[in-house]
Chain A
Amino acid sequence: MRWLALALLPLPAFAQQAENPRPYGWWLGDELVQRIRITGVPDPASLPRPRAVDYWLDLREVAQRDIPGGTELTLRWQNFYSALEPSERRVPPSAIRLADGTGLELPGFRYVTSPIRPILAPSTAKQLQPDPPFHLIDPVPPQLRLLAAVLAMMVGLLALAWQQGWFPFHRRPARPFTRAARTVARLPEPQARHALHRAFDQSFGQVLIGADLDRFLTAAPQFAPLARRLRDFFEASDAAFFGMGPGAAQDIPQLARDLAAIERGRR
């Protein structure tokens, strides 16, 4: 009666079903796929690691997916055995543990691997594949870009020098009277007066009117020897522009030349 009781124990639908790769006809570098169905859930920590199992065998990948009533494990092996003659290789089993703690062994399998070509056949150069085509790099665009970058840097430096007033853009001493002396010589009377007035304005740093002449002479005492003629010039300007009666005639170009000479320190 005891065996009957044993036979009536509920059995799992399948303890383990292994779908092993075919046992023959494998070459160097081939991938062998093994599918194993087990009841229960395996402990992921106990699954075999993808690794080099041996010098001629790699375990590439271990994948698992749930199926009704259990789990399907897929192990991908790769054969690196460079066979000199057909030979049978043995893939070892690996032990795993289920989530409930019971141990289980994933079965190993055997396969036969063979050489690809006759061992003693001579190698010829024709068997070599041609070299892959190579591409020459065109140096012109990078050279052009380099040139453009250098040019941009030079322009930037010049702009910075101009903005900061470095050489060659540094402020040279302004010589308004010297410039005026050149233009006055070519101009008729009223324009010549205007030009010399503008030179006075620039030299004084602000607009100079006749009433401020003393301040101008205090600020620029080098012009003091001409004080008399400057006073006459401004009085004549008042007469000409603001209707203060007739002013004395003057040699404006000569006055401008004298002012310019003092400005350049020739006197």
Chain B
Amino acid sequence: MDSNISDWRVRFRDAEKALNGVVLGQTRSIRLLLISALCRGHVLLAGDVGTGKTTLLRAMARALGGPYARVEGTVDLLPTDLIYAAHIAEDGRPRIEPGPVLEQGEDLAVFFFNEINRARPQVHALLLRLMAERSLSAFRREFHFPHLQVFADRNQIERDETFELPAAARDRFLMEIAVDAPAAPEDRVALAFEPRFHDTTTLIASVGQGMLRYRGLNDLAASIQSGIHASPALQRYVFDLCEALRHPASADLVLEGADAARLIRGGISPRGMQYLVRAARAGAWIEGRNAVLPQDVRAVLAPVMAHRIFLAPAYEPRRDALVPALIDAAFAKIPVPA
């Protein structure tokens, strides 16, 4: 298994290199996506229009290999549209065929939901079950998708004709990754001027199909979670961090322009804490260590936790500024090793 594990590590390194060659300036997002694949967790990408969210997800799906289904969220999309495809056959009779989720069979590896906030709550409810239980009821039987990973993206620019995901649905996502335009000027110039970035389909084709062998990921994820050591000092650090995010005032966190005692309304569920530990272990494994260090926790805390923190209504409008500030304040204040 050890040699096997080191082979896997080489594969992940290669996949990371290939993805960074395809999507410029998104090193952090790519690392987080790989961590999510190692945790078998679902990912929501949020960001501006045209920052490469879809390209990144398509490239990732190609690296994972395996069957892949894609749905575009619209206002009139119904839950049945995901499961069934109705059409008139050549003999003039109506036919019900398996829809996008089912047509690849139970081997489905990546289900890709574009513009998820355009779909209506009924669709979110179906997706919730698909994400939580990796199963569906259709054609009077149960379908199970053991290798399924749901990728969704959501653009933050438009608010009208969109449906905000309910808190329960957001809690099911392992991570919510904020994708921004590349920071480095040379990356942006390259994206604009180099012809190979103009055609995304050929660009994505340069990523090796199935580099990550999706069928082996479940076993790999289990062996990582049992094999990477988390010491008592680190467990205490994770607990203190989550406690500080839940009760900022009792941890003496100071926030500019907010009352720490009234900031938080809820969230930071035990499931969130569990996801945080899983992601930190996967991050440590990718870095080539066999124990989790504080920097692994810090690297994944914001994407794993930010969407699980519910602010008081008065502070919710300033969420984009307050939540990162709260997380930074917790990093600055919570001692490690305590």
Residue of B nearest to A205 (CB): B332
Closest residue of chain B to A212 (Cβ to Cβ) is B295
Complexed CA–CA distance, A210 and B233 (Å): 15
> Which residues of B are found within 8 Å of A194, using beta-carbon distances?
337
Known contacts A242-B231, A243-B229, A206 near B332 by CB under 8 Å: yes
- Would A241 and B337 be within 8 Å (CB), given that A209-B294, A210-B295, A211-B295 are in contact? yes
A244, B331: Cα distance in complex, Å: 22
- Is there contact, CB below 8 Å, between A242 and B335? no
- How many interface contacts (CB-CB < 8 Å) are there between A and B? 53
Q: Tell me if A113 counts as interface (CB < 8 A to partner B).
A: no
From A197, A201, A206, A244, contact of B291 by CB (8 A)? A244
Any A CB within 8 A of the CB of B178: no
A211 to B292, CA, bound (A): 13
Q: Are the C-beta atoms of A198 and B293 separated by less than 8 Å? A: no
Nearest CB on B from A244, distance (A): 5
- A75 CB to nearest chain B CB (Å): 79
Number of interface residues of A (CB under 8 A): 18
Q: Give residues 222-243 of B contacting A (CB, 8 Å).
A: 229, 231, 233-234
B289 at the interface (CB under 8 A from A): yes
Query: Are A242 and B333 neighbours in the complex by a CB distance under 8 Å?
Result: no
* Interface bits B310-338 vs A (CB < 8 Å: 1, else 0): 00000000000000000000011111110
Number of residues in B with C-beta < 8 Å to the partner? 19
- Give the chain A neighbours of B293 by CB distance below 8 A: 209-211, 238, 242, 244
Bound Cα distance from A212 to B290, whole angstroms: 20
Q: Does B298 contact A (CB under 8 A)?
A: yes
Cβ of B332 and Cβ of A242 under 8 Å apart? no
- A261 beta carbon closer than 8 Å to chain B: no
Cα A193 to Cα B233 in complex, Å, equals 13
Q: Report A233 CB to chain B, min CB distance, Å.
A: 13
When each residue 224-267 of chain A gets 1 if its CB lies under 8 Å from chain B and 0 otherwise, what string results? Answer: 00000000000001100111100000000000000000000000
A147 within 8 A of B: no
Please state if A207 and B334 are interface contacts (CB–CB under 8 Å): yes
User: What residues on A are CB-neighbors of B334 within 8 Å?
Assistant: 207
A212–B294 CA distance with the chains assembled, in angstroms: 11
B295 touches A209 (CB 8 A): yes
Query: How far, in angstroms, from A254 to B294 measured CA to CA in the complex?
Result: 26
User: Is A206 touching B335 in the complex (CB atoms < 8 A)?
Assistant: no
In the bound complex, residues from chain A placing their C-beta under 8 Å from that of B234 are: 241-242
Complex: how many Å from CA A198 to CA B336?
A: 9
A244 to B335, CA, bound (A): 19
Task: State in angstroms the CA–CA spacing of A129 and B333 once bound together.
Answer: 87
Can you name the residue of chain A whose Cβ is closest to the Cβ of B234? A242
Interface centre among A193, A198, A237, A242 (most CB of B within 10 A): A242
Query: Which chain B positions have C-beta within 8 A of A207?
Result: 331-336
- Contact residue among A205, A209, A244 (Cβ-Cβ distance under 8 Å from B336): A209
CB-CB contacts below 8 Å: B283-307 with A: 289-295, 298
> Closest 9 interchain pairs by CB?
A206-B332, A211-B295, A241-B233, A241-B337, A243-B291, A209-B294, A243-B231, A242-B231, A243-B229
User: What 10 new A-B contacts, CB under 8 Å, besides A211-B293, A237-B337?
Assistant: A197-B335, A197-B337, A206-B331, A207-B333, A209-B294, A209-B295, A210-B294, A212-B295, A242-B291, A242-B294
